[in-house]
A and B are shown apart, each in its own frame.
Chain A
Amino acid sequence: MAWKRSWKLLSIDLWDSLRPLGFDIMLILVGAVSGVFSVLQPITTPANAANSVLGIIIFITALYLALRASSDLVNLTQAGVMRVYMTYPISRRDVSLILYFSRVFIPSIILLGIPAIVTGVMLYPVVGRNLLNYVAVWLAYILQVQLYGSIFVLTSTQTKSSGTAAVMSIVGYFAYVATSLILSLIGSIDNIKLLTQISTSMEFYNSVYYKITGAAISNWELVVSPIVFVVLFLSYVIYFARRFES
């Protein structure tokens, strides 16, 4: 019964989360971009195929989620719809999970899934050689987006203004990416291996890509991003279940 109720609430919130016109434009955009990038670059391995296309798409996806998962959730609270959700006989923990699924997980699966399918079809001769590697890199991107999404939903529970939530989320995303880039640059220029490793570990898809392609990579570099995601995600769920007030 609880699952059935949660499913119904999920379907209500998905209507808003995937509403036109924004989501439709995003679908066309990611589909077109992935089609173009699939044929622009010389691609030799399945992992390379996934990485070269999804590396661009993750940027678009993150910005979209920053608006839908952060700013729109604050709007939902300000408009009073969140109060309506919270008065249903559904536990606060389940509501937090429903919102995460509808605002982060499902949109990210679609927005990263369509380019993966487009690239998979267009470059099937390459991708088909090792579908498992291709899917592994795709899943790594999915997890990375969940990490960003967790930052966004956590931000939405802490702010009262949708504008502030959007700005904080986008700034947070760019700060994370820039930190990784700067560490990588300093590490390469000054030959400080630890900085390069931290940079790699901050982006899970890089760790997985290096692992698949046989580059030297420590095991800890593979677990940093998943751990950060789990911590952020649990913080969001626990905060929502125990402290969030609408």
Chain B
Amino acid sequence: MPSSILMLENVTKKFGKFKALDNVNISVDRGEIRGLVGPNGAGKSTLIKTSLGLLRRDYGKVLLFGKDPFFDPEARERVGVIYERPALPASMPVIEFLSKAAEIYGSTKEHLRDALELVGLEDQAYKPFSQLSAGQRQRAAIAHALVSSPEIIIADEPTSNLDPVERNKILELFLEINQERKLTILISSHVLHELLRISSTITIIKSGKIIKSGTPDEIVRNISMTRIRCKDPESLKELLSSLGFSFTSEGGNVYVKTEEKGIASKLLNALSDYIKKGNDIYGIEFVEPGIEEILEE
């Protein structure tokens, strides 16, 4: 059994003269959670749509389960797909739509019940899709992806329309699906720290090109940030500048790059002196880097 479920080789996709994907190579292995991270317009959705055969590539090769998904529908046989904006037929009760979808894949009713139970939507399943909340819609979309008895779930920014609580629940659900059902997951987002929590491999994409790929540790190894909230950011910035720290500021927050342990310790000592001099600091927090810091590197 080949370990790679999805493989893109030198794939280029153009919209007119604009290159949405530029010579992209990526391989998603069985059992992994692959996070695809990039800013808006980086090409994440184009990569996912091209992987599914929804978009026609201009150059290169796409293989999903060893088949070209644009020409061979069987390539999508064991694939569950979740989109950023969950869209199922609006007026049809969710359970009815999912039953029909399950029949398309030849899945059983038990499988459907199992999927609804897993996403916690049993009580809402008789409502039309249009009457569900944003979180429930995304759960219905996940149930839809699961009724195909997939080996891989491809999710295009599945958390972007959700509030923080729902985001966490959905991410936990993906982790559970991966660990308990051994499903491979390709998930995209523009929020790096979300994917750092669940991914086994992260791929960074920008302007249609793969910038970096590796485990979460490899991606953020040399980049760590400390966020400091204080009463007088200007005086703190002066101090940091005089001590040679690299930092940025946003509102009342000052972000200091603390790549190495020595730097973090030096910063904490400096902040201790700063407080002793009578300055107020409201909070110090070590934070995971954002996509901007990764791209800057």
- Given contacts A12-B97, A87-B76, A89-B76, whether A81 and B88 have CB atoms under 8 Å apart is yes
Interface size class of chain B, counting residues whose CB lies under 8 Å from the partner chain: 20 to 34
Chain A 69-118 residues near chain B, CB threshold 8 A: 79-81, 83-84, 86-92, 94
- Given contacts A87-B79, A89-B74, whether A8 and B87 have CB atoms under 8 Å apart is no
Whether B89 lies near A81 (C-beta < 8 A) is yes
Cβ contact of B87, chosen from A5, A15, A80, A242, cutoff 8 A: A80
Cβ contact of A16, chosen from B55, B81, B89, B104, cutoff 8 A: B89
- Given contacts A12-B89, A15-B91, A80-B83, whether A87 and B54 have CB atoms under 8 Å apart is yes
Whether A87 lies near B81 (C-beta < 8 A) is yes
Q: How far is the CB of A188 from chain B (nearest CB, A)?
A: 48
For residue A179, CB closer than 8 A to chain B, the reply is no
Whether B54 lies near A80 (C-beta < 8 A) is no
Q: Most chain-B Cβ atoms within 10 A of its Cβ — which of A15, A16, A19?
A: A15
- The interface residues of chain A, by DSSP majority, are classed as helix
Whether A83 lies near B87 (C-beta < 8 A) is yes
Whether B104 lies near A90 (C-beta < 8 A) is yes
Q: Please, which residues of chain A bring their CB within 8 A of the CB of B103?
A: 4, 8
Chain A 201-246 residues near chain B, CB threshold 8 A: 242-243, 245-246
For residue B228, CB closer than 8 A to chain A, the reply is no
Query: In the bound complex, what is the Cα–Cα distance between A92 and B69 (angstroms)?
Result: 10
Chain A 146-205 residues near chain B, CB threshold 8 A: none
For residue A60, CB closer than 8 A to chain B, the reply is no
Cβ contact of B73, chosen from A11, A16, A91, A242, cutoff 8 A: A91
Cβ contact of B56, chosen from A81, A94, A245, cutoff 8 A: A245
For residue B114, CB closer than 8 A to chain A, the reply is no
Q: Please, which residues of chain A bring their CB within 8 A of the CB of B101?
A: 8, 12, 88
Q: Please, which residues of chain A bring their CB within 8 A of the CB of B88?
A: 81, 84
- Given contacts A88-B76, A89-B105, whether A79 and B87 have CB atoms under 8 Å apart is yes
Whether A8 lies near B55 (C-beta < 8 A) is no
How many residues in A have their beta carbons less than 8 Å from beta carbons of B? 27
Query: In the bound complex, what is the Cα–Cα distance between A236 and B271 (angstroms)?
Result: 68
Whether B87 lies near A81 (C-beta < 8 A) is yes
Cβ contact of A9, chosen from B49, B77, B104, cutoff 8 A: B104
Chain B 84-130 residues near chain A, CB threshold 8 A: 85-92, 97, 100-101, 103-106
Whether B100 lies near A8 (C-beta < 8 A) is yes
For residue B44, CB closer than 8 A to chain A, the reply is no
Contact bitstring B25-62, A, C-beta under 8 A = 1, else 0: 00000000000000000000000010011111000000
Q: Please, which residues of chain A bring their CB within 8 A of the CB of B257?
A: none
Contact bitstring B249-263, A, C-beta under 8 A = 1, else 0: 000000000000000
Whether A12 lies near B54 (C-beta < 8 A) is no
Q: Top 6 closest A-B pairs, CB basis?
A: A80-B87, A87-B81, A89-B77, A89-B73, A91-B73, A89-B76
A-B contact pairs, 15 of them (CB 8 A): A4-B103, A12-B92, A16-B89, A19-B91, A80-B83, A80-B87, A83-B81, A84-B88, A86-B52, A87-B54, A88-B101, A89-B74, A242-B56, A245-B55, A246-B54
Chain A positions near chain B (C-beta within 8 angstroms)? 1, 4-5, 8-9, 11-12, 15-16, 19, 79-81, 83-84, 86-92, 94, 242-243, 245-246
